[in-house]
Amino acid sequence: MLSMEIITIKTTKKTELIDITSDVERVLPHKDGICILFNPHTTAGLIVNEGADPSVKEDILAIFSQLAPEKYPYKHLEGNSPGHIKSSLTGPTLILLVEKGKLLLGTWQRVFFAEYDGPRNRKVYVKFMEG
């Protein structure tokens, strides 16, 4: 059985990591299977990382800003090249295991939507495959 849901996200900052773990689990059936998350945006990403200490999110975004700084002679004239580069680093997709409707994550792990060109209205597709 394959089902799909859409999670909508309203970002509020230029760059931020938003914990969407509970949003994902809310739309999962109470079954075992695989969850595929897909972000259809070219200046955003999806990651799994520590959610207990907020300084981890700050560190990740700080290093990404050093890797793709705002001030650089980018050729893309839209002004959001750093967002495209950061999105390439994190990628648009996650595949996660599900047990009884809960994501199988490590003790400190959470799922984050990574905004690199906000604020914007965003969405994430959640596909569940039973089995």
pLDDT digits (tens, 9 = 90+) for 77-112: 999 999 999 999 999 999 999 999 999 999 999 999
CATH number of the domain at 35, please: 2.60.120.460
50, 108 Cβ separation under 8 angstroms:
yes
Q: What percent of the chain has pLDDT over 70?
A: 98
DSSP per residue, the chain: -EEEEEEEEE--SSSEEEE-HHHHHHHS-SS-EEEEEE---TTEEEEEEE-S-HHHHHHHHHHHHHHS-SSS--S-TTS-HHHHHHHHHH-SEEEEEEETTEE---TTEEEEEEESS-S-EEEEEEEEEE-
Structural domain that includes position 126: 2-130
Predicted TM-score (pTM) above 0.85: yes
Q: What is the mean pLDDT of residues 28-44?
A: 97
Counting the structural domains of the chain, the total is 1
